[in-house]
Amino acid sequence: MTRIDTTFATLKAEGKKAFVAYIMAGDTDEAKSLEIMKALPDAGVDVIELGIPFTDPMADGGTIQLAGQRALAQGMTLQKTLDMASEFRKTNDSTPIVLMGYFNPIFSRGVDAFLSDCTAAGIDGLIVVDLPPEEDDMLCLPAQDAGLNFIRLATPTTDEARLPKVLTNTSGFVYYVSVNGVTGSAEASGANVGPEVARIKSHTDLPVIVGFGVNTPEKAREIASIADGTVVGSAIVSQIAQGKSVEEVTAFVKSLADGAHSA
């Protein structure tokens, strides 16, 4: 079992929902980004999604695109992202880390080398948004052979014909994208999300976590109450973009985590 599997099993046993937080590695600089990452577990974060900066993040809205640009301008790279995870692991060996990004930097590094480096850095799972199930041989299956979860996204347009294919070889959890469009583009609606979560759960025993459009403690609670947990990214990244201190960012994260955990 990966740390992701263990975390969700523990939460289920405790009757709790998961809170997953996304940050962009290296935003606004390496030191502050690492400091925020290290503070997330104490703020109530159950799983950390660590974004890999990339020049063409097609699934991301302006907030996360700008975060990637800030990180790249500071010299952030895939290697430095892995180094950040390694540094985090020196003081935390239990909180799962999911790398989220695009295939180009991984391909450039070489899949075998990347997976070996992920294992060494203490990475638990991958979300690679531009690799469809038809390309599982390129990364998904090798990643699972290396002991990493490969987490797939389902969306409002993933119909009954497509859903089984999306779920094939998915592990860790299913990430349901609550809105059509890019990150930060609209607010999630519990009325719309509920039936979709139920539909996905009829096809899999994996936890279903809902992201995109969750930006307040109240919304985190609403969405977590109808899923196995929720993800917040753009709202947290916005706090960082505003120049908030580490303490201010983590206080905001704690309010979101408290909302999700009260579901």
Name the token pair of 49.
């999604």
Grade residue 58 by pLDDT with cuts at 50, 70 and 90.
confident
Is 189 domain-assigned? no
**What tokens were used for 253?**
């994260």
187 inside domain = no
182 in any annotated domain:
no
Show the domain range for 58: 3-148+215-261
Radius of gyration in angstroms for the set of CA atoms belonging to the chain, rounded to a whole number: 17
Q: What's the whole-model pTM score?
A: 0.95
Are 40 and 253 in contact by the 8 Å Cβ rule? The answer is yes
CATH number, domain with residue 236 = 3.20.20.70
What digits encode the pLDDT tens for the residues 2-11?
999 999 999 9
pLDDT (tens digit per residue) in 157-182: 999 999 999 999 999 999 999 876 54
Distance CA(165)–CA(136), nearest Å, equals 11
Over residues 24-46, the pLDDT tens digits come to 999 989 999 999 999 999 999 99
72 located within any domain: yes
What pLDDT score was predicted for residue 213? 84
Active-site residues, by number, are 49, 60
Asked whether residue 193 is domain-assigned, the answer is: no
Structure tokens at 197: 């979560």
Domain presence at residue 170? no
**Position 157 in a domain:** no
Helices (H) and strands (E) in the chain, counts: 12, 9
Judge whether 167 lies within some domain. no
pLDDT of amino acid 186: 56
Taking residue 198's Cβ as centre, other Cβ atoms within 10 Å add up to 12
Domains contained in the chain, number? 1
Round to whole Å and give the CA distance between 46 and 4. 9
Model confidence over 113-142: pLDDT tens digits? 999 999 999 999 999 999 999 999 999 999
User: Between the CA of residue 263 and those of 8, 14, 215, what are the distances in Å?
Assistant: 15, 13, 15
Give start and end residues of each alpha helix (H) in the chain: 3-14, 30-39, 62-73, 78-89, 103-109, 111-121, 140-145, 163-167, 190-201, 217-225, 234-241, 246-261
Percent of the chain with pLDDT over 90: 89
